[in-house]
Amino acid sequence: MKIENVAIIGAGTMGHALALVHALGGCAVRLQDLSPETLEKAPGLIDAACQNLVDAGEVTNDAAQTAIKRIYFTSNLSDAVTETDLIVEAIVEKEDIKRSLFAQIDEIAPANATIASNTSYLDIFPLVPASRQKNTLIAHWYTPPYIIDLVDIAAGPETSPAVISAVNDLYVGFGKEPLLFKRLIPGYIANRLQAALNLECLRMIDQGWVSASDIDHSVRHGIASRLAILGHMKKMDYTDLRMSLNGIASRMYLPPENTGGSATLTRLIEEGRTGVRAGAGFYDYGGVSPEDLFKARDTKLLKLKQAIKIIEKDD
């Protein structure tokens, strides 16, 4: 199965970045979105991401410019999917909207086209027409996907092994790190761990025990460096598994109940403090533009990624 022509459906936070990932991998990409505003912003976001990669020495300027030229922008779904090998769905996480999209794709896409959903937590397989089941899978990425290499690949009940193999091989060829799941686990691994961490962090803030900056101080200076080098399970080995068992036996820690909300998040959102794009969330960003903040983030992530690669050569 050759994958050369790729359609990305949804040009928002993940979609435009996934268009860049596939274009850098050598694919011809058609990036589609119904929103004129979202589609208009996409080229600038892609250019900025490319420049961050060039500045970090991850890609050459020529390679970046060649990739950009491989991306075609369109608001027309038929224009995007009628001649494609792989359709990457990166739209809003709402079942009814996804079901409608898959039905439209079923009507106009080639019969042998592979459909890969970037869903973070939905079981999309009941939403997909029966005729498309064998060619559909989940390929879930983490933002920003042009830097973060993990791709969760999960098959549906009827997904063809050849389709799984083809998508896995494509992303390995991109230099990414696919993780194949034998069965769909809602949230995969990384998102489940993040969900648990979110609940505990928000409980401590809601209760007034600590501040957001206290938590980030503990993560950055206590946990993150060890996790980056060892992972979590190997870190347990280095600590001694008896200590982990003793910690569980002490019952010192009980996980928080998921109540379906957080007083702190509700308050911040009501105040318009929704995150970087709004200029404030848990932190105030001092009028710095989102573009500059994302550039600073990307630069730091790329330096960390390069440092980890050097360290891993010693393993």
* Among candidate residues 149, 181, 213, the one where a domain is terminated: 181
Q: Which residues lie below 8 Å from residue 238, measured CB to CB, with a gap of 6+?
A: 230
Please give the residue range of the domain that contains residue 226: 189-260
Residue 229 forms part of a structural domain: yes
Residue 171 forms part of a structural domain: yes
Residue 265 forms part of a structural domain: no
Residue 266 forms part of a structural domain: no
For the chain, the distance separating the N- and C-terminal CA atoms, rounded to the nearest angstrom, is 34
Residues 233, 287 within the same domain = no
Query: Could you report the per-residue pLDDT of 195-242, keeping only the tens digit for each?
Result: 999 999 999 999 999 999 999 999 999 999 999 999 999 999 999 999
Residue 79 forms part of a structural domain: yes
- pLDDT value, residue 309: 87
Burial of 20 (0-12, 13-18, 19+ CB in 10 A): buried
Per-residue three-class SS string for the chain: CCCCEEEEECCCCCHHHHHHHHHHCCCEEEEECCCHHHHHHHHHHHHHHHHHHHHCCCCCHHHHHHHHHCEEEECCHHHHHCCCCEEEECCCCCHHHHHHHHHHHHHHCCCCCEEEECCCCCCCHHHCCHHHHHHEEEEEECCCCCCCCEEEEEECCCCCHHHHHHHHHHHHHCCCEEEEECCCCCCCCHHHHHHHHHHHHHHHHHCCCCCHHHHHHHHHHHHHHHHHHHCCHHHHHHHCHHHHHHHHHHCCCCCCCCCCCCHHHHHHHHCCCCEHHHCECCCECCCCCHHHHHHHHHHHHHHHHHHHHHHHCCC
Residues 235, 121 within the same domain = no
Residues 84, 173 within the same domain = yes
Residues 166, 29 within the same domain = yes
Residues 140, 277 within the same domain = no
- pLDDT value, residue 266: 97
Residue 91 forms part of a structural domain: yes
Task: Please report where in the chains the tokens 């870190």 appear, as a residue.
Answer: 235
Whole-number Å distance between alpha carbons of 18 and 143: 9
Whole-number Å distance between alpha carbons of 121 and 124: 9
The pLDDT profile of the chain, 315 residues, written as one tens digit per residue, is: 789 999 999 999 999 999 999 999 999 999 999 999 999 999 999 999 999 999 999 999 999 999 999 999 999 999 999 999 999 999 999 999 999 999 999 999 999 999 999 999 899 999 999 999 999 999 999 999 999 999 999 999 999 999 999 999 999 999 999 999 988 898 999 999 999 999 999 999 999 999 999 999 999 999 999 999 999 999 999 999 999 999 999 988 889 999 999 999 999 999 999 999 999 999 999 889 999 999 999 999 999 999 988 888 776
Q: Is the dihedral of CA 264, 266, 271, 272 positive or negative?
A: positive
- pLDDT value, residue 314: 74
Residues 298, 224 within the same domain = no
Residue 243 forms part of a structural domain: yes
Residues 87, 230 within the same domain = no
Residues 11, 92 within the same domain = yes
Residues 156, 17 within the same domain = yes
Residues 153, 205 within the same domain = no
Residues 231, 104 within the same domain = no
- pLDDT value, residue 50: 95
Indicate the number of domains in the chain: 3
* Among candidate residues 146, 181, 216, the one where a domain is terminated: 181
Residues 12, 150 within the same domain = yes
Residue 194 forms part of a structural domain: yes
Instruction: Name the pTM for this structure.
Output: 0.91
* Among candidate residues 156, 181, 206, the one where a domain is terminated: 181
